[in-house]
Amino acid sequence: MAVNPNIKIVVADDSGTMRIMFKQILNKAGYENLVMAVNGADGIEKVKAEKPDLVISDWNMPQMDGLEFLQALRTMDEFKSLPFIMATAQSDKAQQIAIMEAGGSGHVPKPFDEVQISKAIEIAFSGETTDKTPVKKQRQVVGGRVELNVAHIQITDHLALGALKHRIDQGDVEPAHFDLTTSLKAGWNPIQEGLENGEIDCAFVLAPIAMDLFAYDSPIKLVLFAHKNGSTFIRSRHYDPRFDSLQSFYRYKVVDIPHKMSVHHMLAHQFLKELGLKPGVPGKKAINVRFEVVPPVKMPEIMKENEDVAGFMVAEPIATKAIVGEIGNLEFYSASRWDNHPCCIVAMQEDFIQKHPEAAQEFVSLLVETGEYIENDKARAAQIAVSFLDPEKKLGLNPQVLKNVFSQPKAIRWDGLYPVAEDLDRIQRYMHDVMEIGRIIDLDRFIEKRFADQAYK
């Protein structure tokens, strides 16, 4: 249903940067009648005074957080049915369930864009709920080959998929059991939603996202690591070693991450904690470094314009571009803290595996082979990456820069992609036990090793 663009919206977020982003994204979506609030308590006052048609709130805020804001409104007769969308970095399943149980009208995980927020607003005013029940796809089989739709985003972590597509398009390999379609997504949230509702057959996705979905019974399996290493922590150029220690520089500042459920979050948390700091998100616990979830491509621009942002952790090629553009300097490569660590994995629908095991086996085997193909010719890989990751030439990727990125010490790797349960357990234990995020899952049930076993035999 179409929503009147003139509706009044109260937006609550304690971050000045995020309030600016909210305004930009909502304006792009056609909504300009906005009233800004700095936390839940301020939001209640604004709602009482302005009588809005909709509330959009962050979750993690001091004084009164987004969930308390929602619960408080639902106790007031006047606002019992006021549409309320939680737009927040609290993107794990437990938080989504808590929002709906408290009477929320919808949930949009950060980072989001104007398309996602528009969809959430339409659903909130229609009175519908977002159905995440997995669907059984009817996949076409032509000439003995089943269609295989694989989702990814614009980062070099997903180059094995692009290189495989290149090899197929060039006629170097011809799959016998599947026809490959790659689907470029705007961010992690569409991939997460597509895996959850069954619209996507397979995806290159952050390991903790897939593990969290599995914890809440999404029928997906990990069939391969997508890469190893590959992320970089960039420190703001405003750091001055003559006056600042690293501890003093990061204290009371912001560090941007691409997703709450990510190895980036984990490694950045470890680094800051080792400096004697208390990193986290605003809420009940005292913190002195704040994590914010923002789109990876926007990280350099945000840090350039906002001195409160002390650093960000991101995949390539964004990190190297920020260094070359003198927006920031290298703090550390992820591999320097954990060499050969997993990050993104290849998640496949269990339904696809059961119905088309030959296609699943062939796809995994070709990805393993393609990883070696990339490692054996970094110049060729850089050329493929430019066309695959930047088809519309918006990122301005340069083959020579990418070749240098791929060849540097502690760089991203596409060989040795066999799924190691102990590595994933290290991630889930730290996130659950130290960061208090997510659930512990049975990795033996989550990992489907038979295809990798055959590929590496």
Helix ranges restricted to H, 57-135: 66-74, 93-101, 114-126
Q: ∠13-213-197 over CA atoms, to 5°?
A: 95
Domain coordinates in residue numbering, the chain: 9-126, 141-229+341-455, 231-337
Return the higher-pLDDT residue of 394 and 407. 407
CATH class of 231-337: alpha beta
Q: What is the pLDDT of residues 29-80, one digit of tens each?
A: 999 999 999 999 999 999 999 999 999 999 888 889 899 999 999 999 999 9
Query: Which long-range CB contacts under 8 A does 427-431 form with residues at least 24 apart?
Result: 427/207, 427/208, 427/211, 427/263, 427/266, 427/342, 428/208, 428/211, 430/266, 430/270, 431/208, 431/261, 431/265, 431/266
Buried b (16+ CB within 10 A) or exposed e, 164-197: bbbbbeeeeeebebbbbebbebbbbbbbbbbbbe
Q: What is the pLDDT of residues 341-363, one digit of tens each?
A: 999 999 999 999 999 999 999 99
What is the pLDDT at residue 298?
A: 87
141-229+341-455 placed in CATH 3.40.190.10: yes
CA dihedral 86, 91, 97, 98 (to 10 degrees): -60
Q: What is the mean pLDDT of residues 409-432?
A: 95
Assess whether the region 9-126 and the region 141-229+341-455 belong to the same CATH fold.
no
Is residue 263 over pLDDT 90? yes
What is the pLDDT at residue 106?
A: 86
Q: State the chain's mean pLDDT as an integer.
A: 91
Domain 9-126: CATH superfamily, name plus number = Response regulator (3.40.50.2300)
What does the alpha-carbon distance between residue 70 and residue 54 come to, in Å, rounded to a whole number? 12
CB 72 within 8 Å of CB 44: yes
Is residue 1 over pLDDT 80? no
Helix ranges restricted to H, 87-236: 93-101, 114-126, 159-169, 188-197, 207-215
Q: What is the pLDDT of residues 324-335, one digit of tens each?
A: 889 999 999 999
What is the pLDDT at residue 284?
A: 64
CB 149 within 8 Å of CB 200: yes
The letter for the amino acid at 183 is S
Kind of pairing between the strands at 141-142 and 145-152 = antiparallel
Is residue 138 over pLDDT 90? no
